[in-house]
Structure 1
Amino acid sequence: MFTGIIEAVGSLRRVTPRGGDARLVIDVAGLDLTDASVGDSIAVNGVCLTAVELQSGAFAADVSAETLSRSTLGALGVGASLNLELAMRPTTRLGGHLVSGHVDGVGEIVERRADARSVRFVLRAPDRLARYIAEKGSICVDGISLTVNDVDGARFDINIVPHTLEKTTLGQARVGQSVNLEVDVIARYLERLLLGDGAAREGGAITRELLARHGYLTDTD
């Protein structure tokens, strides 16, 4: 598990295709790996990767075809900047929110504008993820724990303060750029819990009838 508080911005040193998968070598910049071991989890742009080799100032990780298809890692070029975070310890302050490092989908930055000393981004999430994104809820964008300011359908906006702009890759993010999204894990489990026994049936899904039965909709909705 992670907190979504970025510890360093590294870069992609090398990509080696391996029969549909890939091995990445990542320069860690200021990330302290002195107490890291092979087998440890490291979040890379919000993707939980397992370190299979530790080098001086770098680590290697194997990335499956599933992860390459569900995240932006497969499209990154050598030299790309990467948000890095080591797995949290039991004593870590939870400054962000609980982040699993399991990317739910890829979103797109559709607007960037100045907002006093901060920057306001508007992002578009895949339609299937929109129901998990709530105003003032939490979302993880490229590994960064952020608060959702407003939601409009599948679009939502986030406000990035100067410190986050300086310490993460969002400072260089541009309109049209793809980003990894992980919704709040509580929202995902709540959906399954609402399905009850229906979760075990193929095709089980949240419907208006189900929401009404549990009191989430009224006759006027």
Structure 2
Amino acid sequence: MFTGIVQGVAVVDDVQSAPGLSSFAIRFPADRVQGVTIGASVSINGTCLTVTRQQGDLLFFDAMQETLGLTTLESLKPGDRINFERAARIGDEIGGHLLSGHVHTTANIVAIDRPENNCTLTFEVPHVWARYIFPKGYIAINGASLTIGDVTENRFNIHLIPETLRATTFADAAVGEQVNIEIDSQTQTIVDTLARLGYDRPAS
């Protein structure tokens, strides 16, 4: 499990592609790999991956075809910056909301507004997922737990403070970029339960 509080930014060092599998070598800040063991879970842009090997501050991960098809990982290339979070431990503060690291879908950035000391990003998700997105609800974008702003049909925005921009890759965001989305599990459960009872929220 993860908390959605991004612990830092790492850089893709190498990508090796084979049929149905991609292997990533990702360079982390040296103080963030202490105590890492083979088999540990790390959130890479919101996707839970398993450490397969360590070489100093380089950690290695494999992603299967199903993961590549559901996420933005297939487009990663050397030099790309990614958000990361190591798995939560019992007793850790939950500053965001609980995440599984299982990406539900991707979204496109369709607009960016940068007033002084603020940044607002607008995203568009596939219509089928819009039913789970509510103003002031939780959502995870590239592994970061964020509060939803305005919602219009299958578009929503988020407002980012300077600290979030500093600690994540969102400062580099560009219109047209794809991001990983994990829907809040509690919201999904409530919406699906109401749907089974006949109180469905139609997809926009």
> TM-score normalised by the shorter chain: which range applies?
over 0.9
**Counterpart-to-counterpart distance in 2, 1:94 and 1:115:** 30
How far does residue 115 in structure 1 lie from its aligned partner after superposition?
3.3
Aligned to 1:76: 76
Is it true that 1:210 corresponds to 2:187 in the alignment?
no
**Counterpart-to-counterpart distance in 2, 1:190 and 1:36:** 36
The one-letter amino acid paired with 1:133 is: I
How far does residue 195 in structure 1 lie from its aligned partner after superposition?
5.7
The answer as to whether partners of 1:8 and 1:30 remain within 8 angstroms in 2 is no
**Counterpart-to-counterpart distance in 2, 1:30 and 1:181:** 28
Is it true that 1:193 corresponds to 2:193 in the alignment?
yes
Structural mapping, 1:74-153, within 5 Å: 74-153=74-153
TM-score normalised by the chain length of structure 2: 0.93
How far does residue 30 in structure 1 lie from its aligned partner after superposition?
4.8
The answer as to whether partners of 1:7 and 1:31 remain within 8 angstroms in 2 is no
What per-residue deviation string (whole Å, max 9, x for no partner) do you get for residues 43-98 of structure 1? Answer: 00000000011110011111010110000000111111000100001111111111
**Cα distance change on mapping 1:192 and 1:19 into 2, 3 Å:** same
Higher RCO, 1 vs 2 (CA within 8 Å, ≥6 residues apart): 2
The sequence identity of aligned pairs, in percent, is 34
TM-score normalised by the chain length of structure 1: 0.86
The answer as to whether partners of 1:125 and 1:155 remain within 8 angstroms in 2 is yes
The one-letter amino acid paired with 1:54 is: Q
* Range moving further from structure 2, 156-165 or 16-25: 16-25
Aligned to 1:157: 157
How far does residue 18 in structure 1 lie from its aligned partner after superposition?
2.6
**Counterpart-to-counterpart distance in 1, 2:51 and 2:24:** 10
- Secondary structure, in 3 states, of the residue corresponding to 1:140? strand
Aligned to 2:9: 9
**Counterpart-to-counterpart distance in 2, 1:11 and 1:149:** 29
What RMSD, in angstroms, separates the aligned Cα atoms of the two structures? 1.8
How far does residue 191 in structure 1 lie from its aligned partner after superposition?
4.0
- Secondary structure, in 3 states, of the residue corresponding to 2:4? coil
Aligned to 1:203: none
- Secondary structure, in 3 states, of the residue corresponding to 1:211? coil
The one-letter amino acid paired with 2:51 is: A
**Counterpart-to-counterpart distance in 2, 1:195 and 1:106:** 23
Aligned to 2:57: 57
How far does residue 188 in structure 1 lie from its aligned partner after superposition?
2.4
**Counterpart-to-counterpart distance in 2, 1:191 and 1:131:** 8
**Counterpart-to-counterpart distance in 2, 1:85 and 1:154:** 28
